[in-house]
């Protein structure tokens, strides 16, 4: 069977970091990289030719849609461009794997679902952690007959006390559709929706957020909160006045808490933050509490490819479930995509699932006052 021929849209951190893994995954080959600036695309192509087993050509975005010899496109653009470019690519007959979160509204997700159906192509949201066996086990544990019993409460945080001005300058940028929920909160949200396997009761949704924006540039600045308080990142003296005047106007959530119930009565409580968590790292966990026990992991979204441990308690007895050689989640994701494109397995996540995720994001934003 011929390899799926990929183009990568964008040349940022995720594109550069993941290209070698797409290249080495079974069933896939990288044939093109596209940038707003062809020179940047060429630089990434040169690095790929030197270190990965492929020789992609450098293109500009507009060239990808109409180009023959490209079967699938990995969209690694800022969140504000996900829906627009995924739609164009689907309409031009390409399969699409788009970085999370695929959409910020239900209506956008519905447009993509319709386009994918019409074109007979895949549109898949890139939640790489779903492609590690620990995630499959969590889904199993949430279903009937599990050793933890019927799940009553799910709690999950992704609090990442971020100190990187490059990251914060885009993640707290309203025009790029930043915010904690879009960047990191979509992980706890997505895993709760995945294990429960259906839509929540939207009327049960509660959410609160601290809003803010990045004031500065990619090399330094501060998080300015709604009340005017400024949390400086890096050297205050290093921030030029013109950076401050260039800053984005709109506010996004720098921290966000959300909870809702599923029809079964299971409650979910999630939290994400760029400022909470340990100053030198992250505070991340996923916990399911059932009638007979619980499952708990501190690495739900970055499971160890070699040896991942999941704690499972049942009827007072505690067990460490170990996943040896679960594999690189990105490599697993690309291999699953290739098999789905050949019709051998279902895509993960499904587009139906992404519709629910998009609606959850839209409703949480609406509840906390983030508007696009
Ligand atoms: N799955 C994961 O583990 C993971 C990790 C990190 C990020 N992500 C997701 O991947 C996406 C990209 O994140 P990233 O960290 O790679 O971001 P990044 O470093 O800022 O890269 C984004 C790329 O998009 C292109 N772009 C097009 N229009 C842009 C604009 N107006 N402003 C900035 N860049 C623009 C740029 O490439 P050109 O200039 O070459 O066109 C840029 O390099 C986000 O949706 C994020 O949520 C996922």
Contacts of 13 (CB under 8 A, 6+ apart): none
Say which CATH architecture domain 4-126 belongs to.
Answer: 3-Layer(aba) Sandwich (3.40)
b/e map of 275-284 (b: 16 or more CB within 10 Å)? bbbeeeebeb
pLDDT at 161: 87
pLDDT digits over 272-285, tens only?
999 888 765 679 99
Indicate the angle between helix axes 329-341 and 13-24, nearest 10 degrees: 60
**264, 251 Cβ separation under 8 angstroms:** no
276 is annotated as an active-site residue: no
Nearest CA to ligand 1 atom 19: 12
Nearest CA to ligand 1 atom 30: 78
pLDDT averaged per 10 residues, the chain (length 372): 95 96 96 97 95 90 95 98 98 98 98 98 98 98 94 96 88 95 98 97 98 86 86 62 56 96 98 84 90 97 97 98 97 98 98 98 97 90
Q: In what order do the strands lie in the sheet with 28-35?
A: 57-60, 28-35, 4-9, 72-75, 95-99, 123-126
**102, 73 Cβ separation under 8 angstroms:** no
pLDDT at 163: 83
Superfamily of domain 130-327: Dihydrodipicolinate Reductase; domain 2 (3.30.360.10)
Mutate to test the pocket of ligand 1, among 61, 76, 330 (most ligand atoms within 8 A of CB): 76
- Residue 372 alpha carbon to ligand 1 centre in Å: 19
Answer yes or no: pTM beyond 0.85.
Answer: yes
pLDDT at 222: 86
Residues with C-beta less than 6 Å from any ligand 1 atom: 10-15, 35-37, 40, 76-79, 81, 99-100, 126, 128, 170, 176, 183
pLDDT at 215: 86
Two structure tokens written together for 147: 């050793």
d(CA 116, CA 123): 6
Q: Is 317 helix (H, G, I), strand (E, B) or coil?
A: strand
CA distance to 63, 151, 165, 183, 311, per residue, from 285 (Å): 42, 17, 25, 16, 12
What is the domain partition of the chain in residue ranges?
4-126, 130-327
pLDDT digits over 173-225, tens only?
999 999 999 999 999 999 999 999 999 999 999 999 999 998 888 878 888 88
Residue ranges of alpha helices (H) inside the chain are 13-24, 38-51, 61-65, 82-91, 106-119, 133-141, 165-171, 180, 186-196, 241-246, 329-341, 351-368
- Judge if the upstream peptide bond of residue 101 is cis by omega within 30 degrees of 0: yes
Which helix (DSSP H) or strand (DSSP E) does residue 28 occupy?
strand 28-35
d(CA 313, CA 84): 45
């Amino acid at each position: 069977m011929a390899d799926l021929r990929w183009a990568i849209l964008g040349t940022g951190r995720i594109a550069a970091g993941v290209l070698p893994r797409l290249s080495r995954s079974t069933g896939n080959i990288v044939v093109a990289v596209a940038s707003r600036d062809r020179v940047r695309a060429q630089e990434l192509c040169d690095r790929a030719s030197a270190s990965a087993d492929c020789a992609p050509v450098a293109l500009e975005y507009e060239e990808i849609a109409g180009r023959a010899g490209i079967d699938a496109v990995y969209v690694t653009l800022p969140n504000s461009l996900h829906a627009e470019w995924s739609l164009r690519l689907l309409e031009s007959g390409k399969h699409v794997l788009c970085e999370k979160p695929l959409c910020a509204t239900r209506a956008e997700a519905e447009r993509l679902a319709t386009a994918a159906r019409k074109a007979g192509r895949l549109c898949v949201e890139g939640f790489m952690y779903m492609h590690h066996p620990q995630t499959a086990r969590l889904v199993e544990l949430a279903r009937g007959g599990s050793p933890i019993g019927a799940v009553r409460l799910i709690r999950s945080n992704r609090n990442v006390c971020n100190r990187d001005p490059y990251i914060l300058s885009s993640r707290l940028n309203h025009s790029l559709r930043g915010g904690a929920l879009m960047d990191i909160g979509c992980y706890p949200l997505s895993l709760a929706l995945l294990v429960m396997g259906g839509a929540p009761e939207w009327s049960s949704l509660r959410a609160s957020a601290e809003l803010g924006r990045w004031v500065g540039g990619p090399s330094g600045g501060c998080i300015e909160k709604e009340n005017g308080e400024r949390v400086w990142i890096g050297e205050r003296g290093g921030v030029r006045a013109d950076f401050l005047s260039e800053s984005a106007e709109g506010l996004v959530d720098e921290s966000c808490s959300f909870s809702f119930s599923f029809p079964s009565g299971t409650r979910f409580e999630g939290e994400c933050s760029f400022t909470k968590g340990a100053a030198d790292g992250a505070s991340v966990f996923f916990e399911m509490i059932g009638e007979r026990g619980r499952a708990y992991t501190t690495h739900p979204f970055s499971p160890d490819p070699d040896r991942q441990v999941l704690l499972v308690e049942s009827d007072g007895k505690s067990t460490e479930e170990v996943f040896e050689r679960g594999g690189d989640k990105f490599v697993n994701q690309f291999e699953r995509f290739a098999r789905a494109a050949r019709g051998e397995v279902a895509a993960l996540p499904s587009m139906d699932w992404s519709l629910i995720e998009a609606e959850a994001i839209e409703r949480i934003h609406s509840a906390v006052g983030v508007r696009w």
